[in-house]
A and B are shown apart, each in its own frame.
Chain A
Amino acid sequence: MTADEILAKLQASFPGLVKSEAPLKDYPTWTVPAGSVRAVFERLHSKFSFNYLDMVTATDWSGPANPKGYPQSPAVTPAAAGAPSATAKDVFEVVYIVSALSTGMRLCLRCELPRKEAAVPSLYGIFMASDWQEREVYDMYGIKFEGHPNLKRILTQDDQQGHPLRKDYEHVADKFD
């Protein structure tokens, strides 16, 4: 079964699920509404044998990174503090890559969230691989994964201020600066 056929079958139950206009290169890419993320993955896992969650990450589309997000001047290149680009939008985009080990088929699913109080259902339980990866996305972006039993910071220290990979993140000086 090709990715398009799977998409057509899923679209009957999830009308918000559409093909992305700007796909991840070489990957069938779909855009999924935040509300049906868990249900879509559940279906992919149980009916279409997508059993391996490769990657969960996110992109902040609000423009170039604030130079104050770095403890020292980051301007090692002329483009480091660039002007807001045409692609800037006030959204986070959660990116999933999932594959079926039996057929070798790979899919990219994306989900746009408003930057204010961003939240998306967790995949914990369907794919255990989502456990730490969702915690990492929460740590870096502050996106809440609803239903995750242990959603706390993972890479940064537990009293860290702000979420470092947000484009508007500003570094708070500490004793090491």
Chain B
Amino acid sequence: MTKHAHAPADLKADQMFINFGPQHPSTHGVLRIALTVEGEVVMKGDPDVGFLHRGMEKLFEARTYSQGLILTDRLDYISATHNNLGYCLAVEKLAGIQAPLRAQYIRVLAAELNRIASHLVFFGTFGVDMGAFTPFLYAFREREMIMDLFEMLCGGRLLHSYVRVGGVAADLPAGWTEKCREFLTFFKPMLKDYDTLLSGNPIFRSRTEGVGIIGADRAVSWGLSGPTLRGSGVSYDVRKAEPYCVYDKLNFTVPVGKNGDCLDRYYCRMKEMEQSVEIAFQCLDALAGAELNPGEFMAKGVPKMFKAPAGQAYAHVEASRGDLGFFAVSDGGFNPYRMHVRGPSFINVAILQEILVGCKIADVVAILGSLDIVLGEVDR
């Protein structure tokens, strides 16, 4: 984080230095990009992060494993359930705890609902970035329904802490399954509406097609993940590559793009929502089955405070923004000795320094929006 931003000393006479952010509505948080422009063309773009740094990894070291969970909500606050899940999987691996099957289905269900909610925020705000305000209203109407579902589940709307070490906080409340089905049935045809609202809009397309192209080899080298990587045509999804919970029992496809431009990254997310709906339906069917005992949502005998045996574990999940990993080290005590978060947004945003060069100022907003970063996770 740069405390005092000055124009670079080697600025030429026909160049201009622009501080894009940290207080700019289209940076989606507190990101600063130091832009050197020549007329409309960006000569150098240097993303500057850390304005939201809260020292999470240091805080984890002073908290027990169950207390650490609430910190994870505040990483990627748009899709809190994925953070909870990644953290719990790492701790469970470290401590040798196995969540019951029913809890695993509920986890996947909650995670996929959260993925839809998160991609809806992307859909809405990306439209606003491109000058289309209407899709935002539709996106947030649907997202509100998911928030209501989460409120029924755990009381929280944004920060859920629903997934716990050993299972989930509570079983599905009465009437929730029906509400969820109702929402999914309502939501599925909506995706077609979104296409007519935004995806097919000529202005939107001309602003995203062929803009901010990331080649497949560059995307892999920069360690991109999630829809940002898949937009470049690389089919890498943690749910397929290293299935966790019950993803190996579920039937879904991984949408990939072709050109790696902003439109491909955008459309990957739209297609992913469709798959999330399918996964959610499969989970609901499985939860209604007889083999998953109702009420068995938590592993037996997981105390609030427990010691994990000395060792190291790494668990990662496919969060809404990509490959979210937790690296946990225990020295045998009550607290994690070390907890590192591999935030996908942090790694995705780094590529800006390469792809911003040569684009127009207006495209900076499009490219940044298409990466879909959350600064809570970038800065941790």
Residue numbers of A with Cβ under 8 A of B are: 22-27, 51-55, 57, 59-60, 64-65, 67, 69-70, 74-80, 82, 85, 87, 95, 97, 101, 104, 106, 108, 127-129, 131-133, 136, 140, 153-159, 164-165
Contact = CB atoms under 8 A, between A and B. Distances in A.
Interface string B208-238: 0000000000101111000000000010100
Contacts of B79: none
Contacts of A133: 223, 347
Nearest to A65: B61
A77 B62 contact: yes
Interface residues of B, number: 53
A54 B325 contact: yes
A139 B57 CA distance: 13
Given A54-B325, A77-B305, A154-B1, 20 more contacts: A22-B312, A25-B93, A26-B93, A52-B220, A52-B236, A53-B223, A54-B223, A54-B342, A59-B329, A65-B62, A70-B58, A85-B332, A87-B332, A97-B327, A108-B314, A128-B218, A128-B223, A129-B221, A158-B1, A165-B58
Contacts of B59: 74
B53 A132 contact: no
A157 B50 contact: yes
Given A128-B223, A132-B350, A155-B379, A80 B62 contact: yes
A162 B208 CA distance: 43
Q: 10 closest pairs, A vs B, by CB?
A: A129-B223, A74-B62, A79-B334, A57-B340, A155-B50, A132-B350, A25-B313, A128-B222, A155-B53, A128-B221
Contact of B335 (A55, A77, A106): A77
B55 interface: yes
Chain A contact residues, majority secondary structure: loop
Interface of B: 1-3, 49-50, 53, 55, 57-59, 61-64, 67, 93-94, 218, 220-223, 234, 236, 241-242, 305, 310-314, 316, 323, 325, 327, 329, 331-335, 337-338, 340, 342, 346-347, 350-351, 354, 379-380
A129 B316 CA distance: 17
Contacts of B327: 55, 57, 95, 97
A78 B236 CA distance: 42
A77 B64 contact: yes
A22 B241 contact: no
